[in-house]
Chain A
Amino acid sequence: MRITFVLNGEERHVECLPDRRVVDLLREDFGLTGTKEACGTGECGACTILVDGETRLSCLMLAAQLEGRSVTTIEGLGAEGCLHPLQEAFVQCGAVQCGYCSPGMILTALALIKENPAPTREEIRKALSGNLCRCTGYQKIVDAVEEAARVTRGGQ
């Protein structure tokens, strides 16, 4: 079937099977390999994307569900030489180790900051609790989200 949706701000049309998984559509058809797949069963959050600004697991979504929607992947944040405040904070705070969970963490954090511009550490931990990380112990990820929220608010 023909599907029309907005991908990182640009309208796209794609011809594909309606039951193609969104993670495969993004990674294989669009070459956007920033979205990661780990468990493939909706447990780990590595494949998190934003659909109409809300976090969704792209391993559990089917292509047909994207019709008319707006999708943001990690490639939609920042630009070459100009990182998004969340990406910048992740780098500065050392919130990235192996990096596999980072795209999903950052998109989840983006949705959180949009909804709650001044989250407490507890609120950040709760928001990130669907995204597993085995390397960092989460502390520096929480630091980074705190810092990015501060920068996004204008540095207070």
Chain B
Amino acid sequence: MWYFCMSRVILHQKTEIVIRACEELRRRIIGRAALILFADTVEDLELLPGRVRHLKTGKEVPLTLLASLMPPEDRVCISQFIMPVSRDGLDTGKAFVIGFPHLLFSYAAHLAAVEVDELTGALEVKAYFAATEAGRVINPQSFEQQVEGAIAQGIGYALHEEIGLHRGRIVNPDLATYIIPTAEDIPDITSLVVETFETSGPFGMKGVGEVCINGPLPAIAGALAAACGVWMNRAPLTAPRILAAL
């Protein structure tokens, strides 16, 4: 399945802008440190946590001192970045005259093992596997957190979560009636990372925020079809709906 999401695109833009602003600030800090440390060239200076070090002499100057010597306008760095447009010529993007504003597509493949009770229609997800490609992985634990959290939400959307409306009012506006998954509803999830390097992305990343939310519904519906031979065309796949279809 393919997927895109605006928040991830914004993350990409913001990260790129922050990187550029930080690079400018680093240049200014090192330039200022060169004056104090009598460095011949800024090449010999390295920005370290809390200080700048002159590599040839080992002399250091703390950032607090450098900051006190910088006029206020030097301490603020402003940067801008124009989002690149999609490299894929998508049919849905033809109306965008300056280009379709999604350069980055994360990809995922999901497998769900389900158990269906033919007497009640109740469906339980017994095991889950996800392979995710979202560019470079900076923090493997955060990456897994995003994948697992998204799958749990996706299972909720696939099996239980539905806003009921009656004459324009939401009839299930609380956690007693809008049912989200508990620890017992989510199986252990195996997450495989397919790591790539996104050349346009900040540090090779794409962003993994929500790519896994969309997988559970089709994966679970597919598993149900494989097990019972019925394809559901309406979500969530509640027990009464499954029972009616069996």
CA distance A43 to B186 in the complex (A): 18
User: Would A41 and B148 count as touching, CB distance under 8 A?
Assistant: no
User: Would A137 and B174 count as touching, CB distance under 8 A?
Assistant: no
Q: How large is the interface on A (under 10, 10 to 19, 20 to 34, 35 or more residues)?
A: 20 to 34
CA distance A56 to B145 in the complex (A): 28
Contact of A60 with B by CB under 8 A: no
User: Would A41 and B174 count as touching, CB distance under 8 A?
Assistant: yes
Nearest neighbor of A135 in chain B, beta-carbon distance: B149
User: Would B175 and A136 count as touching, CB distance under 8 A?
Assistant: no
Contact of A51 with B by CB under 8 A: no
Residue count of chain B within 8 Å CB distance of chain A: 22
CA distance A140 to B142 in the complex (A): 11
CA distance A60 to B189 in the complex (A): 34
Q: Is the interface of A mostly helix, strand, loop or mixed?
A: loop
CB neighbours of B151 from chain A (8 A)? 137
Please report which residues of chain B, range 120-177, place their CB below 8 angstroms from some CB of chain A when the two chains form the complex: 141-142, 144-145, 147-153, 174-176
Given contacts A94-B141, A136-B152, contact A129 B176 (CB under 8 A): no
Contact of A64 with B by CB under 8 A: no
CB neighbours of A139 from chain B (8 A)? 148, 186, 188-189
Known: A94-B141, A94-B145, A137-B151. 4 other contacts (CB 8 A): A132-B175, A132-B182, A136-B149, A137-B148
**Interfacial residues, chain B to chain A (CB-CB below 8 A):** 141-142, 144-145, 147-153, 174-176, 180-184, 186, 188-189
